[in-house]
Chains A and B, each alone.
Chain A
């Protein structure tokens, strides 16, 4: 009977381990196709194109710093364009030995940090970026990367410093401003962050991706200050500019679900090859057989992740457990998630889980963090206030 807090988190982890064993031991039935033309697999995404083959050949012939960086960058671009994580693994395999060289270039180390971020190895990634910035403080790419890592981890003060230097250093203004506003809002300056973005007229000549990022941050700030209509409009505009950006799609779906517009959220989430984050959200806005099928897909995915020993996606575990009424499991996962990530969605899922589990200590922990950082979110505050009152 270990202390309650530890036990709640441990139970979440042990449950993951139990699922992992089940997934590892699962036996799929074998079959031999009767038709020789039976399509076994579509391998277009996994097939290197001519340019990639050339980079591979160049790297094999001479695996120096430049060749490693070029090949790894190509792998990472492919990973994001195709949403195919295999290429992140390939980039990491190229970059690992290259980055181990004490004289590795900043490009190699920055790319290696990026590959590490994909599997949530934030400590190592940030340490690499720290080292780059110590040697070359004007490396804007490394600074941008470190700011984004710090934002995810809830280090808003550190992120604010990086974003401010980006702005002063003449980086892309819309990106630097949005970055600064996001950091300020996290550090207790929600209104000032909104004023900062309001003062900047979004320019049509900015790249679509830059505008999408700006609009997404502005939408999140609207959401946090209880202006869901404006938030949804900005999320929609951002998604129009970057239709492949699943994080924007997920944020818009969350906003629609919170407003009770489940049909619109479900329509938004019903995409081909949905990700885990979209699938888990889809579970929340469907019913009946479709919901059961989506839940089973998400569960299988999380089981596989646990079986592989990957960083468990506790935010999704918590969201799924909330949908299935497993409040204690949701709380354990939300607490484990909060140790790693402290974005708006992480704060909200922890609040929901703490309230659902009727765990006073967890609620107080979250309230203390909100007070300490100055992080404001109307929905979270309303939820916690209602729980305290009722």
Chain B
């Protein structure tokens, strides 16, 4: 019965009922400075006393309290214990580790034993950390690794089931660029509201307003020129705000942007029903392009850039977005161009499609308010 009660009371809140201090005891912190080629690798490892005392005898007077004097006295046990728990390699070869010093560091209201180690490593290659890392015997132990490589910050979590960390290879500018091109394409492919807006720009582009009515446009070159003009205006606008937001020069909260994007779809849908106002499509595309750019910036901020330099990131994402837009145009334009002369295009597809997309914009607008 006792165990049942424990389970009943603890399942619901078992982990959330832990104290902050308690949880810190199952966590150690490993900080690595990746140095220039000729310098030794320096590691700093902050360890909770409660974790290492299962391996090293420290509380020499058995009073349940560890003093700094006891730690100093136990140094001859601590040194080999620490060195036995961690292995460092570089470029596939192991490094000779030396114990440099020890101090204390306060984390989450607790004093951690902070040791520094120096590793004599090969001059080149990627680092690798492994070992039992004081994790044997406790499945909840974690080592939080943080490493500085120039301006890039690398992090990792080591556990008993994944007790190794390998420094990731530096991504080339070209690889980063290619990755963010894919991210840009993928973002548009998933972004139903962006696709809706581009479709609303496309649908009337194969028609011309004549006396308050839609008539089919003459010649593919004329249609293509108009589409290129509108899409280019949209692109210039959203590229501008994307760059401003990503570089941190302008910050706009997410919610108003999401609301404005939904509004742009509702407005574009309504505009397509009024041939007399078709000349407003270009300023509309340009104006709302600024808003969509902030939307792209919000999406980009959700992607783990992993230290990628700004230029390949921004250029790649932007080009990816443009490629996706062009693919959409290439897929839709031949169909609507072929259908433009039919009666049902001007009186059915355009108004019904615009109404449906515009209504979706209104729904999104209400949801986001």
Using a CB–CB distance below 8 Å, which chain A residues touch chain B?
1-4, 10-11, 14, 17, 20-21, 23-33, 35-47, 73, 76-77, 80, 83-86, 88-90, 92-93, 96, 114-115, 117-120, 141, 144-145, 148-149, 152, 172, 175, 179, 207, 209-210, 212-213, 242, 245-248, 250, 273-279, 297, 300-301, 304-305, 307-311, 313, 315-316, 328, 341, 343, 358-361
Instruction: Decide if B15 touches A308 in the complex (CB within 8 Å).
Output: no
Please choose the segment from B65-73, B273-281, B348-356 that sits at the chain A interface, where 4 or more of its residues have CB less than 8 A away.
B65-73
User: Which residues of B267-317 are within 8 A (CB) of A?
Assistant: 295, 299, 302, 304
Alpha-carbon distance between A152 and B146 when the two chains are bound, in angstroms:
36
Cβ of B66: which chain A residues have Cβ within 8 Å of it? 39-43
Instruction: Decide if A42 touches B64 in the complex (CB within 8 Å).
Output: yes
Bitwise interface map of B from 15 to 53 toward A, beta carbon under 8 Å scored 1, else 0: 111111111111101010000000000001010111101
Closest to A5 in B: B367
Cβ of B69: which chain A residues have Cβ within 8 Å of it? 36-37
Interface residue SS majority, chain B: mixed
Closest to A114 in B: B7
Which of A92, A141, A358 is the one whose CB lies under 8 Å from B4? A141
Cβ of B14: which chain A residues have Cβ within 8 Å of it? 117-118, 120
- Further pairs besides A25-B146, A213-B8, A247-B12: 8, Cβ < 8 Å: A3-B192, A24-B145, A30-B105, A36-B68, A41-B49, A43-B53, A83-B19, A246-B13
Instruction: Decide if A42 touches B65 in the complex (CB within 8 Å).
Output: yes
Alpha-carbon distance between A341 and B16 when the two chains are bound, in angstroms:
13
Alpha-carbon distance between A14 and B300 when the two chains are bound, in angstroms:
12
Cβ of B340: which chain A residues have Cβ within 8 Å of it? none
Cβ of A275: which chain B residues have Cβ within 8 Å of it? 13, 16-19
CB distance from A79 to the nearest CB of B (A): 9
Alpha-carbon distance between A247 and B153 when the two chains are bound, in angstroms:
39
Alpha-carbon distance between A141 and B6 when the two chains are bound, in angstroms:
12
Question: B94 an interface residue at 8 Å Cβ cutoff?
Answer: no
Interface centre among A88, A89, A179, A341 (most CB of B within 10 A): A89
Which of A37, A145, A278 is the one whose CB lies under 8 Å from B67? A37
Instruction: Decide if A343 touches B12 in the complex (CB within 8 Å).
Output: yes
Question: B190 an interface residue at 8 Å Cβ cutoff?
Answer: yes
Alpha-carbon distance between A304 and B3 when the two chains are bound, in angstroms:
29
CB distance from A47 to the nearest CB of B (A): 6
Cβ of A248: which chain B residues have Cβ within 8 Å of it? 9
Cβ of A1: which chain B residues have Cβ within 8 Å of it? 187, 190-194, 261, 295, 299
Instruction: Decide if A311 touches B15 in the complex (CB within 8 Å).
Output: yes
Alpha-carbon distance between A25 and B307 when the two chains are bound, in angstroms:
14
Closest to A277 in B: B16
Cβ of B24: which chain A residues have Cβ within 8 Å of it? 304
Cβ of A310: which chain B residues have Cβ within 8 Å of it? 15
Cβ of A172: which chain B residues have Cβ within 8 Å of it? 1
Alpha-carbon distance between A227 and B27 when the two chains are bound, in angstroms:
44
A-B contact pairs, 6 of them (CB 8 A): A30-B114, A44-B64, A118-B15, A148-B11, A248-B9, A328-B254
Instruction: Decide if B15 touches A313 in the complex (CB within 8 Å).
Output: yes
Alpha-carbon distance between A11 and B258 when the two chains are bound, in angstroms:
14
Using a CB–CB distance below 8 Å, which chain B residues touch chain A?
1-27, 29, 31, 44, 46, 48-51, 53-54, 58-59, 64-72, 103-108, 110-114, 136-142, 144-146, 153, 155, 157, 159-160, 187, 190-194, 254-255, 261, 295, 299, 302, 304, 364, 366-369
Cβ of A88: which chain B residues have Cβ within 8 Å of it? 140
Closest to B303 in A: A14
Instruction: Decide if B369 touches A37 in the complex (CB within 8 Å).
Output: no
Closest to A46 in B: B50
Known A37-B67, A274-B19; contact A89-B141, beta-carbon cutoff 8 A: yes
Cβ of B23: which chain A residues have Cβ within 8 Å of it? 85, 301, 304-305
CB distance from B210 to the nearest CB of A (A): 36
Cβ of B71: which chain A residues have Cβ within 8 Å of it? 40
Closest to B69 in A: A36
CB distance from A302 to the nearest CB of B (A): 10
Instruction: Decide if B142 touches A309 in the complex (CB within 8 Å).
Output: yes
Known A46-B50, A118-B15; contact A33-B140, beta-carbon cutoff 8 A: no
Instruction: Decide if B140 touches A85 in the complex (CB within 8 Å).
Output: yes
Interface centre among A46, A175, A310, A359 (most CB of B within 10 A): A46
CB distance from B307 to the nearest CB of A (A): 11
Which of B107, B140, B145, B193 is the one whose CB lies under 8 Å from A28? B107
Instruction: Decide if A11 touches B302 in the complex (CB within 8 Å).
Output: yes
CB distance from A324 to the nearest CB of B (A): 15
Instruction: Decide if B138 touches A119 in the complex (CB within 8 Å).
Output: no
Alpha-carbon distance between A209 and B65 when the two chains are bound, in angstroms:
32
Instruction: Decide if A41 touches B17 in the complex (CB within 8 Å).
Output: no
Instruction: Decide if B11 touches A152 in the complex (CB within 8 Å).
Output: yes
CB distance from B299 to the nearest CB of A (A): 6
Closest to B62 in A: A47
Known A14-B302, A83-B22, A152-B11; contact A40-B67, beta-carbon cutoff 8 A: yes
Known A80-B10, A118-B10; contact A86-B26, beta-carbon cutoff 8 A: yes
Instruction: Decide if B50 touches A86 in the complex (CB within 8 Å).
Output: yes
CB distance from B261 to the nearest CB of A (A): 7
